[in-house]
Amino acid sequence: MTAPPVFQLRDLTHRYDGTRRRPGAVALDGVSVDLHPGVTGVLGLSGSGKTTLLNILGLLDDARLTRGQVTYHPAAGEPIDYAALGRRGRASLRQAEFGFVLQSALLLPHLTCRENVAVPLALTGVGRAVRLARADELLEAADRADPTPAGGTPRRRLVDLRHARPREVSGGERQRVAVVRAIAHDPRVVFADEPFSNLDPRNTGEILDLFRAWLGGGLGYGRPDRGRTLLLVSHTVATTIRFAAGRCLVVRDGRVARNPDGPPLAPDDDALGPTP
């Protein structure tokens, strides 16, 4: 690939916190990989280090790296070495460049769905009226991006749920709102860690539709693609391989078992390898 990578990982090694006598277990061991714009699936067995990798790349873990280097290449400007970032710099980078979708939607219970979607905009200083209007637009765009299939059971539109609080909507709807929230400020990178592990196939499909619309700039952001990147961690291997068009990073025991820049995986490949 000629385009510069979004993330450049070199000899990334990370141990969990431990004591001097009993050092923490190795979570990542000598990971060197380039992650490019677009969708990259992150696959691996439980405990293989996928979430640790995402936490490090997403700056969610304050612990220092044991060894190695992570460099983020923004769409414009100088590359950013994670080791040089302070607490404030990490928060600023997360706020401006990243979005997160986790296994649990983690919507704020005291805000309505539209207010939840508007939170990332509020954090960047967008005024209340503007950000709420933008949240409504995003919810409508999300509904358009994921129309009810012909003959399917009609589902509630997100825009109709905008005044509902999270506890008043279903799990699938919560997760869809969480996806819209993650992409509301049009981040460069979205980290999705098991976003549909609790969802049925239909809701999974809707979540993927939303990601697809965001990646394609179809949610009305009105600005060119800056190299939108989705790092998708999932145990739903075939779905992930299919969505990532075979570009997957496979992690096994904290090491890179398969580089995403290699030949594409097929959905029916035994991507995770033998179960230990």
Q: Which residues bind another protein (CB under 8 A)?
A: 55, 58, 60-63, 88, 91-96, 98-100, 102-104, 106-111, 115, 119-120, 122-123, 125, 128, 165, 167
Strands 80-81 and 255-258: unpaired
Shortest reach from residue 147's CB to another protein, in Å: 29
* Side chain identity, residue 156: R
Closer residue to another protein (CB): 37 or 58: 58
**Nearest alpha carbon to residue 53 among 40, 18, 74:** 40
Spatial contact of 85 and 29, defined as CB atoms under 8 Å apart: no
Strands 189-193 and 98-101: parallel
Residue in the block written with tokens 């009993």: 22
Closer residue to another protein (CB): 92 or 148: 92
Consecutive H or E run containing 98: strand 98-101
Length of the chain: 276
Spatial contact of 108 and 182, defined as CB atoms under 8 Å apart: no
Shortest reach from residue 245's CB to another protein, in Å: 27
Residues 6+ apart with CB under 8 A from 146: 176, 206, 209, 210, 213
Closer residue to another protein (CB): 96 or 238: 96
Shortest reach from residue 92's CB to another protein, in Å: 7
Sign of the alpha-carbon torsion through 103, 99, 144, 42: negative
Residues 6+ apart with CB under 8 A from 127: none
Closer residue to another protein (CB): 198 or 259: 198
Closer residue to another protein (CB): 109 or 151: 109
Shortest reach from residue 118's CB to another protein, in Å: 9
Closer residue to another protein (CB): 191 or 243: 191
Closer residue to another protein (CB): 103 or 259: 103
The token pair that represents 132 in the structure block:
């709420």
Sign of the alpha-carbon torsion through 121, 125, 128, 133: negative
Shortest reach from residue 215's CB to another protein, in Å: 20
Shortest reach from residue 125's CB to another protein, in Å: 5
Shortest reach from residue 242's CB to another protein, in Å: 27
User: If DSSP codes are grouped into helix, strand and coil, which group holds residue 226?
Assistant: coil
